Amino acid sequence: MTAEEILNDPRQISGELRLKILGLYHKANAGHIGCSLSCIDLMIAVLFLNKSEADTFILSKGHAAAALYACLNTLGEITDAELDTFYLDGTTLPAHPAPRQYKGIPFATGSLGHGLPIATGIAHSAKISGEESYSFALLSDGETNEGTTWEAAHYAIQNQLDNLFMIIDKNGLQGFGFTDKVLGETASVEKWNAIGFETVELDGHDIFSINEAVNKLKSHKNGLPKAIIANTVKGKGVSYMENKLEWHYLPMSKDQYEQATQEVKERYLNVLTNA
C-alpha cells in the first residue's frame, strides 16, 4: 500500500496486520499478543509513512516482536517463508528480535530499558557526522520505570538531539499490574516536558494523527529531543483482550483465535463473518 492509500483508509492495513499478528501467535501457541496489538498502529505510522532508508527504528519493547515481523513482512523485508518459521527452532524470528539478519532489526531487544539508549547513540552519531536522519525508539510505558531510559533521556537533552524520537506505547499495563500503580505515572507529558523533551500526547490508534505529529515534530529544529506519548489499549481490536493483564502472557485457544479474527474482520475490514 502507498502512503496515500494508508492515510485514505488506515483501518485496512491496521486490520490486515492485526490478522497477521494473531495468526503468528496462534500458530506458535505463544503469548505477548496484547502488547503487539497495542503498538501496531504506531509501527504503521513510523515504518510505512515516515521512516526513510537513512533512518533507524528500534523496537525497545521487544516482546511485541510479532508486530514488527508482520510489518517487515508486509514491507517485503521478511519473506512469507521466513515468517512461517516464527518461534520455531532455528528461526531467524524468535520471540524477541534478534540482530544481524534483517536491516529492519539492527539490534537485539527485549531486555527492557535499552532501546532508548541505543537510539540516542545512533541519533548522536548522525549529528556528529552531519547526516540528515532520524532515530526512532518505540518503548513500553513500563520502560519509563527503567533508570537507563532516564539516563539516555538526559544525554539526549544535553546533546540537543532533535533527531531523536521516543514513542511511548502507553497501554497502562506492565508485567504484573497497572503501570500507574507500580512506580507511579512515569509516562506523562508533564514529566517529559519538564526535563527538556518536546512532547506530544495523542491517540496511539489514530494513524493519521500519529503521522501528522511526527511530521510536525520533524520540522522543529530546536535542539529538543522528541517524545510522543501514545495512549493505547492493550489487546486493541479483540474485545476479550482489551485492557486485560493476562493477555500480556496467554496464548489463544482455537475458539479464542476464531473469535479474535472474526472481531478484527468486522471492526477493521467490514467483513460480517457471522452474516
Question: Within the chain, where are the H helices?
Answer: 3-8, 10-28, 33-43, 65-74, 80-83, 115-129, 147-158, 179-182, 189-195, 207-218, 254-268
- Does residue 273 carry a pLDDT above 80? no
pLDDT band at 169 (very low <50, low <70, confident <90, very high): very high
**Predicted pLDDT of residue 104:** 97
pLDDT (mean) for 81-109: 95
**Least trusted range by pLDDT, from 34-48, 164-178, 186-200:** 164-178
In angstroms, the CA 14 to CA 16 distance is 6
In the chain, what is the straight-line distance between the N-terminal and C-terminal CA atoms, in Å? 28
**pLDDT tens digits along 66-90:** 999 999 999 999 999 999 999 999 9
Span 260-269, mean pLDDT? 97
Higher pLDDT pick, 274 / 248: 248
* Full residue range of the structural domain in which residue 197 is found: 43-235
Tell me the pLDDT tens digit for each residue of 120-145.
Answer: 999 999 999 999 999 999 999 999 99
Task: Report yes or no on 10 lying in a domain.
Answer: no
Task: Band the pLDDT of 272: cuts 50, 70, 90.
Answer: confident
Instruction: Considering only residues 265 and 111, tell me which one the structure prediction assigns the higher pLDDT.
Output: 265
Question: Tell me, what's the pLDDT at 275?
Answer: 47
- Please report whether residue 261 resides in a domain: no
Say whether pLDDT at 223 is over 80: yes
Residue 97 CB: number of other CB atoms within 10 A? 25
Q: Angle, to 10 degrees, between the axis of helix 65-74 and the axis of helix 10-28?
A: 120
Q: Is 262 inside any structural domain? A: no
The mean pLDDT of 179-195, rounded to a whole number, is 91
Cα–Cα separations (whole angstroms), residue 262 to 26, 43, 121: 14, 23, 43
**What percentage of residues in the chain have a pLDDT greater than 90?**
90
In this predicted structure, what is the pLDDT of residue 11?
95
Mean pLDDT across the chain: 95
Q: Is 31 inside any structural domain?
A: no
Mean pLDDT of 18-26: 98
Q: Is residue 257 part of a domain?
A: no
CATH number at residue 211: 3.40.50.970
- Inside any domain, residue 102: yes
Decide if 29 is inside a domain: no
If one compares 266 and 184, the residue with the highest pLDDT of the two is: 266
- Residue 158 scores a pLDDT above 50: yes
CA angle 135, 119, 66 (to 5 degrees): 90
Domain count, the chain: 1
Which of 197, 99, 201 is CA-nearest to residue 149?
197
Does 26 reside within a domain? Answer: no
Residue 267 has pLDDT above 70, yes or no: yes
